[in-house]
Structure 1
Amino acid sequence: MKNVSNEDRQAGYRKVLDYSDTVVLVPCLNEEASVAKVVEGFQNHLPGCRIVVYDNNSTDDTVALAAASGAEVRHEKMRGKGHVVRRMFRDIDAQIYILTDGDLTYDPSKAPAMIDLLRKDALDVVIGRRIDAGGKEYRRGHRFGNRALTSTISRLFRSELSDMLSGYRVMSRRFVKSFPVEAKGFEIETELTVHMLQLSIPFAEVDTEYGARHEDTESKLRTFVDGFRILRTIAGLTILERPTLVFGASGFAACLVALAMFLPVLAEFQQTGLVGRLPTLVVSIVLGSTGLVSIFTGLILSGITRTRRDMKRLAYLRLPPPVPSE
């Protein structure tokens, strides 16, 4: 994984002036105050690109303003960012995909640098690593939560990652079309990151300022509700991706406790020939049996996980890789 500074590369990243192979995907819900500026920003910095705004049941003028700005407008009725991204990845075909938000918190001027890095190094993902621009949008609680979750995922997959929840990503066709979307809401970024790390997909991170939302709009991210859903997603993915660790560790701990309970009963029986603590004996046997079942469950699930990961990798490798640019 590469950590790249933008400032010293920006000029060189404007060599490619034709972005006809690139599509910008913008999920939107009531973003009339900013969607036109988002579309115009990417039009200015990525001449020739295709911009698709996916409306998620907006009740304001988001659709009209996006269309008036020159974007292609499509609709997804099922509410939630995960549903919108699933529809986007299923219906849109391109060589390079840019996923961004419609609230103007991500800087369109960084897109050429991210695309050039993807092409130059034949990467599959380039993540816009958010740098606080001094606005109030990147709140302290969100920043702390992102760091904690990113640290957990990085340790789980033994990878260097700085911002797993960034919604600004440049992706190859091979990555997008091999990604099985399960998320319904804002946990989609977690799924994107885990899919990338579990298959050891080549990626990089590029610094990008994270600005404040327009004053007339409000964030759709609910700190506690969506934070809980993201934690639940990470817990579920941990069980799926590391079953030996989860079930093996808990099973081994149960066996140790069972052994500690059983040994005094065994010592008493050897001395007196009687079982004075029958309930303790029964509990230790049940606990030990449960621990052994848990350990073997972890081993069986580990084999299933390996098979599922291999199937994902085959789907990923079936598509042609990005061609490095000169």
Structure 2
Amino acid sequence: MTDSAFDNLSIAVTLPCYNEGQSIAAVVIGFRKALPGARIYVYDNNSSDNTSEQAAMAGATVVPSRRQGKGNVVRQMFADIDADIYIMADGDGTYDPTAAPRMIQVLLEDNADMVVGTRRHIKQDAGRSGHAFGNRVFNAAYKALFGNEFTDIFSGYRAFTRRFAKSFPASSTGFEIETEMSVHASVLRLPVSEVEFDYGRRMEGSHSKLSTFRDGFRILRMMGMLMKETRPFLFFSYIAVFILAASIFLMAPVVRDYFETGLVDRIPTWMLAMTLLLGSMMTFIAGVILDSVARGRAEQKRIHYLSMAPSRGERYHAGTTPLIERRQPAGHHTVSDTSKTKAR
């Protein structure tokens, strides 16, 4: 599929930026060459350098985003822009614009709602191996908690359909937004795909805005919160088991002494152990109840998602019959077909 196959698609390239004046012009020009018909938006998140000026000179539409944090910017982008397909990337030049057409092609051919650009050579990100190690740890944790649909949950290079963008209830404020996107797709079991590409280095003088420990903690907290909201039975079961283990630890010597002497000498310890046991039972029951609530919320999200008209480009595939027409029963005529028959 060539770029001309996208001519009838409304494509928006969205670039959240904070102090990327050294690289943003090259990024905008790169996406304009890769997707000539796309609209390119740069959302300037309170930059103190010349990010806005450089982006405007390169031909992008610059939109100010006053709430600090990437999650806030993404939430505003999805609310502001109406398109068939959204491409999201960073303005630091580490994501290859020439991979965008392939991501759109996979999005259309796989009938996916999100395509994630997985990164090769991530260790070369300004030489910070800590990011690569954290990436592996969190990806393994994600697979254990939410499923194995993704191999790079932190990639900021993604393609979305309008249905995904408009049904995504973004609540994150910072770099944890990509994790929330992945969990949203996993919980609703949306069709997703991945495309691997080379991960570039930042330009000299450009610095990563990601803090290994601070943002790592925020991402870990977000994963815990999303687990509590989407998989409460598993979340509260873990807590219940931990409390139960503490209760048994305190209870064991008291029970041992009772069988040896027939007396309970440590009443406070026994009372604490019983309190923890009751707490464990209550926590487990809370998980059971909240699991039903979470299932109801997931059904509501799914219904809202289905209420959005599909826009994966079915009617734009060159040389094929539109998907809706292929599903019509034999002998069915559209209004236009009937009017043509009468005209004859």
Give TM-score, length-normalised by structure 2: 0.84
Deviations 1:233-279 (A, max 9, x none): 11222222222122223324534654675577568768977543322
Equivalent of residue 193 in structure 1, options 170, 182, 206: 182
Aligned residues: 315
Aligned partner of 1:112 in structure 2 is: 101
1:310 CA drift (Å): 1.4
Map residues 25-174 of structure 1 onto 2, 5 A cutoff.
25-132=14-121, 135-137=124-126, 139-174=128-163
Distance 2:275 2:75 in 1: 45
Note the aligned Cα RMSD (angstroms): 2.3
Aligned partner of 2:324 in structure 1 is: none
Map residues 282-297 of structure 1 onto 2, 5 A cutoff.
282-297=271-286
Equivalent of residue 240 in structure 2, options 240, 247, 251: 251
Distance 2:214 2:71 in 1: 15
Q: Percent identity over the alignment?
A: 44
Distance 1:137 1:264 in 2: 55
Aligned partner of 1:278 in structure 2 is: 267
Aligned partner of 1:221 in structure 2 is: 210
Find out whether 1:241 has 2:230 as its counterpart. Answer: yes
Distance 1:270 1:38 in 2: 74
Distance 1:48 1:240 in 2: 40
SS in 2 for 1:170: strand
Deviations 1:162-195 (A, max 9, x none): 1000000000001010111111111111111111
Find out whether 1:303 has 2:292 as its counterpart. Answer: yes
Distance 2:186 2:64 in 1: 30
When structure 1 is superposed on structure 2, of 95-104 and 137-146 the one drifting more is 137-146
Distance 1:82 1:127 in 2: 17
Change in Cα spacing, 1:250 to 1:29, as seen in structure 2 (3 Å) is: closer
- Residue 153 of structure 1 aligns with an amino acid whose one-letter code is Y
Change in Cα spacing, 1:138 to 1:176, as seen in structure 2 (3 Å) is: farther
Deviations 1:66-105 (A, max 9, x none): 1121111111111111111111011111110000011111
1:26 CA drift (Å): 0.6
Distance 2:273 2:103 in 1: 58
Aligned partner of 2:304 in structure 1 is: 315
SS in 2 for 1:123: coil
When structure 1 is superposed on structure 2, of 18-27 and 93-102 the one drifting more is 18-27
SS in 1 for 2:119: strand
Change in Cα spacing, 1:272 to 1:60, as seen in structure 2 (3 Å) is: closer
SS in 2 for 1:47: coil
C-alpha contact 1:13 1:113 (8 A) present in aligned 2: no
Distance 1:131 1:14 in 2: 24
Equivalent of residue 184 in structure 1, options 173, 194, 202: 173
Change in Cα spacing, 1:73 to 1:20, as seen in structure 2 (3 Å) is: farther
SS in 2 for 1:293: helix
C-alpha contact 2:14 2:41 (8 A) present in aligned 1: yes
- Residue 103 of structure 1 aligns with an amino acid whose one-letter code is D
1:137 CA drift (Å): 2.8
1:160 CA drift (Å): 3.5
Aligned partner of 2:13 in structure 1 is: 24
Change in Cα spacing, 1:218 to 1:263, as seen in structure 2 (3 Å) is: closer
Distance 1:123 1:21 in 2: 17
SS in 2 for 1:104: coil
Structure 1: runs of 5 or more not aligned? 1-11
Deviations 1:214-241 (A, max 9, x none): 1132111122211111111112222222
- Residue 145 of structure 1 aligns with an amino acid whose one-letter code is G
C-alpha contact 1:21 1:94 (8 A) present in aligned 2: yes
- Residue 285 of structure 1 aligns with an amino acid whose one-letter code is M
Change in Cα spacing, 1:19 to 1:150, as seen in structure 2 (3 Å) is: farther
Larger Rg: 2
SS in 2 for 1:151: helix
C-alpha contact 2:71 2:170 (8 A) present in aligned 1: yes
